[in-house]
Structure 1
Amino acid sequence: MSDNAERVGPAFSVDGMLHARNQTRQAIRAIAAMVEPGMVEEHAVEQAKQILLAQGHALSWHPTRVRFGKNTMKPMKQQSEPGVVLQKNDIFFLDIAPRVDAWEGDGGASFVVGHSEEYAKCAADAETLFHQVRAVWSKDQLSGQELYKYADQQARSMGWQLNPDLPGHRVSDFPHAAIHTGSLADFERSPLPLRWILEIHLRDPQGKFGAFFEDMLLDDQYYA
């Protein structure tokens, strides 16, 4: 494990990173509010990009993703099936990464339209598991590897499968890839705050749908 895995770039700023996170969470809420049944996924992606532009974020450091229905099962690196329409009872998630001035934002969340108990449970469980993993990180100072082992066990106990293709990653002043490209799930030490994105992607064991939640790894005070 490189000793440089948690170093930062010359523009790194605690206030800047927190500002980027806040802007990202605001954008998630704004994008989710415009999504409605009958919308085609590609149109939602374009609308999401327009919302980010309207917030003043001209750049994203990874693709803006809005995924509907069966596309919520797919790993992020896999393209969505085109033309998927959000149904009246459905699930969707967002994964956005605005570059806010010099700093990287990254966030995701899942949402449900209509009245599906299984969709609602999956979406809620993804966020709950995120906070469970964050809690053991804060309390027990587990390594990144241990955090994702715990996440996998907890996901199974909830009745879901944890997608191993979304194993968390560094975040920094742009670009973090010039600093460290390894995953959180491979990190052998307890990760520092303000350095890592914790990703939770739950999938239905029958392969029909999934739910996603990600945010910066931070202490409880930032989630009040």
Structure 2
Amino acid sequence: MNTTRKEAVGEHYSLDAMQHARTMTWKAVDAIAAEVRPGMAESEANALALRILKDLGMDRIWHPVLVRFGENTLRTFKERSNGDPVLADNDIFFIDLGAVWAKHEGDAGATFVCGDDEDMHACAEAARTIYDEVEQHWRTTGCAGIALYDYAAQRANAHGVRLNVDIKGHRVSDFPHAIYRAGDLGDFDGKPAGGLWILEIQIAHPTRPFGAFYEDLLV
């Protein structure tokens, strides 16, 4: 593997611009979450998300907007939602956004809960906690991407949830990162550089039909 090629960037790349893209994408996630309400269909939430991104002034999306409700929180990015569910009073949903700001790619995602279902709240919290633990492991050990996802699986088990091992993170950059064919973070056998990789954590509740998701830029 050519680590240098897999971490290549374009002539416009800057870490400050990546940080700006990150900030704006999280601003969109929070704004969307604040508007999602019980009684809303999943398709309506996705339309809302796209509208908010446009209102915030994104250049464009670089991956489809994804808002998942209920059982659809178990589905991976490449899988279609099952139907068009309506968000219940006690329900769980996640938001996954990939948008370009000032020619740089933002990518962020988080899980939210309506109502007081303790399992749902615990699952959403676990996704964020596992992310934080893995991010800290990257920061303190400098281990390779493969080892990061081995550690993520260990931490998921420790929290009593199942890690979706098909979701392994990916490159970002000045748009478009896809030209570098860098593959998944979880298959990268070098030390991931800051400002170039998205760490994704998707988990499933061990007995109930829902999951949770959290992702952010490693910086």
Instruction: Classify the TM-score, shorter chain.
Output: over 0.9
* Secondary structure of the corresponding residue to residue 123 of structure 1: helix
Tell me what 2:2 maps to.
Answer: 2
Q: Percent identity?
A: 45
Gaps of 5+ in 2: none
More off after superposition, 20-29 vs 9-18: 9-18
Structure 1 counterpart of 2:83, one-letter code? P
Tell me what 1:33 maps to.
Answer: 34
Separation in 2, partners of 1:144, 1:83: 35
State the TM-score, normalized to the length of structure 2: 0.97
Separation in 2, partners of 1:123, 1:136: 20
Maintained 8 Å contact 1:201/1:210: yes
Superposed, 1:89-108 pairs within 5 Å as 89-108=90-109
Tell me what 1:70 maps to.
Answer: 71
State the TM-score, normalized to the length of structure 1: 0.95
Tell me what 1:182 maps to.
Answer: 183
Maintained 8 Å contact 2:202/2:213: yes
Tell me what 1:20 maps to.
Answer: 21
Q: Which runs of at least 4 in structure 1 moved beyond 4 Å after TM superposition?
A: none
Gaps of 5+ in 1: 219-224
Superposed, 1:37-76 pairs within 5 Å as 37-76=38-77
Say whether residues 1:84 and 2:91 are aligned partners.
no
| Offset from partner CA, 1:80-119 (integer Å, 9 cap, x none) | 0122011000100000011112100000000001001100
Maintained 8 Å contact 1:6/1:180: no
More off after superposition, 156-165 vs 28-37: 156-165
Cα distance, 1:21 vs. partner?
Answer: 0.4
* Secondary structure of the corresponding residue to residue 106 of structure 1: strand
Say whether residues 1:215 and 2:216 are aligned partners.
yes
Tell me what 1:199 maps to.
Answer: 200
Cα distance, 1:58 vs. partner?
Answer: 4.5
Separation in 2, partners of 1:40, 1:2: 45
* Secondary structure of the corresponding residue to residue 62 of structure 1: strand
Separation in 1, partners of 2:151, 2:128: 15
Superposed, 1:132-151 pairs within 5 Å as 132-151=133-152
